[in-house]
Structure 1
Amino acid sequence: MYTPDIYKNENQEEIKQFLQENSFGILINQTNGKLCATHIPLELDINKDGKQILHGHIAKENPQWKGFEENDSVLAVFSGPHSYISSSWYDHENVPTWNYLAVHVYGKIKIVEGEEAIKSLKKLVDKYEKNSENPIRVEDLSSKTMRQVRGIVAFEIEVTAIEATKKLSQNRDEKNYENIITELEKTQNRDSISIANEMKKCPR
């Protein structure tokens, strides 16, 4: 991912939090000489060797997984809030741009089966059920329902590199920076307001 130095985010705690809060990503690999991409939740974890990994699964009917063994290199893309930035908000002539948060995770993928696959599913379900009024648990599902697990391919990705971009108008002076925040808040757009809030937290 091309990122000018001024927009690079190398704060590991921030990146970890971003991946936890924006875990619905795009898994990209090459299968049979073609690029494939699937939109799925990918959960960040630490394995027994202390290495960062992403857990996930895709449908067995999805041919993408057949490329995991022939080429284990994959890319997972995670996007956060983003917003158009009008150059009419500056006190000088310039071109419009876009502010955004994004993380690219590179790694080596391998298929997991049996108990490891069930553990991966359990972590996913527990995370997203915790705010439900009547949360379900994988342990409580019937054997009939659990037979559906046969229709998925579970995997883990050992993280080899992470690139994070936090493009928040860091190249603007204080006056224009504050004006961008004000104008973003006026839009009443959820993503634009999220970008404004991120800009408020960004050290100057």
Structure 2
Amino acid sequence: MLIHPWDAAGEEQALAYVRAHPFGQLIASGRGRDVPVVVPTQYLLADDRTVLLHLARPNPVWAAVEENPKVLLSVAGPWAYVPGAWRAEPGTDPRLGVPTTYYSSVQLLCHAEIVTDDAGKLEILRAQLADLEPGAGDPARMARLLSGIRGLRLAVEEIRGKFKYDGHKDAAHRARVAEGLSGRGGPGDDAALRHLA
């Protein structure tokens, strides 16, 4: 992903975003494939360098991970289209403004470890449930279902964060765009406004 200096997120900001948006795309390239395997998945950022998740045993990602344990977890959240007229410089023809899209995206480059033993899978399930559904009880009660899943422990090796919100523009420019976003109230506009603030 192209990351301009003004869009770059620091590690702390990127990890906070990953924690706040625990659903992404796991991408495993494998070896010698025409296209990578891409799996939408819930995950848990257990600590700054560990991601935990589980998937169904028949998932095609397992073969790709076995071929090549280097994977990418891509997380992107709400986006907001910004019309060119909102970005035109004051006093110029609004049709000359360049449109863009505001968005946040973090990519974690990881080394994947497949977890097949019941104790390891239960450890992952306990951590995920404690985060997503505290008080749900011990997943060991569903032990008969463990054979239908495998776990993944991802060791984070590199963090790439991009927060594209006209960071290279001045405050007056961003205020003009914020005014447009506030008036429109589209699906990703509130998230964009929080970043502009």
* TM-score for both structures, normalised by structure 1: 0.85
Count residues with an aligned counterpart.
Answer: 188
Superposed displacement of residue 182, structure 1? 1.1
Residue matched to 2:45 = 44
Structure 1: unaligned runs, 5 residues or longer: none
Cα distance in 1 for partners of 2:31, 2:68 equals 10
Cα distance in 2 for partners of 1:187, 1:33 equals 46
Q: Which runs of 4+ in 1 moved over 4 A?
A: none
Cα distance in 1 for partners of 2:170, 2:60 equals 49
Q: Structure 1 residues 45, 156: closer, same or farther in 2, change over 3 A? A: same
Q: Is the 8 A contact 1:69 1:110 kept in 2?
A: no
Q: Note the alpha carbon deviations across 1:64-105, whole angstroms, 9 max, x for none.
A: 112222211101100122110111113343210111100000
State the AA in 2 paired with 1:125.
Answer: L
Q: Structure 1 residues 63, 32: closer, same or farther in 2, change over 3 A? A: farther
Superposed displacement of residue 138, structure 1? 2.5
Cα distance in 2 for partners of 1:32, 1:64 equals 12
Q: Note the alpha carbon deviations across 1:9-63, whole angstroms, 9 max, x for none.
A: 11x32222111111101000124633101000121123xxxx7111111111112
Q: Structure 1 residues 33, 137: closer, same or farther in 2, change over 3 A? A: farther
User: What is the SS of the residue equivalent to 1:136?
Assistant: coil
Q: Percent identity?
A: 21
Q: Structure 1 residues 32, 59: closer, same or farther in 2, change over 3 A? A: farther
Residue matched to 1:124 = 128
User: What is the SS of the residue equivalent to 2:66?
Assistant: coil
Cα distance in 1 for partners of 2:143, 2:15 equals 31
Q: Is the 8 A contact 1:26 1:40 kept in 2?
A: yes
The CA RMSD over aligned residues, in Å, is 1.7
Q: Is the 8 A contact 2:25 2:41 kept in 1?
A: yes
Residue matched to 2:119 = 115
User: What is the SS of the residue equivalent to 2:111?
Assistant: strand
Structure 2: unaligned runs, 5 residues or longer: none
Cα distance in 2 for partners of 1:24, 1:38 equals 11
Q: Is the 8 A contact 1:58 1:65 kept in 2?
A: no
State the AA in 2 paired with 1:42.
Answer: Y
State the AA in 2 paired with 1:169.
Answer: D
Superposed displacement of residue 147, structure 1? 1.2
State the AA in 1 paired with 2:102.
Answer: N
* TM-score for both structures, normalised by structure 2: 0.88
User: What is the SS of the residue equivalent to 1:78?
Assistant: strand
Residue matched to 1:186 = 183
Q: Is the 8 A contact 2:80 2:189 kept in 1?
A: yes
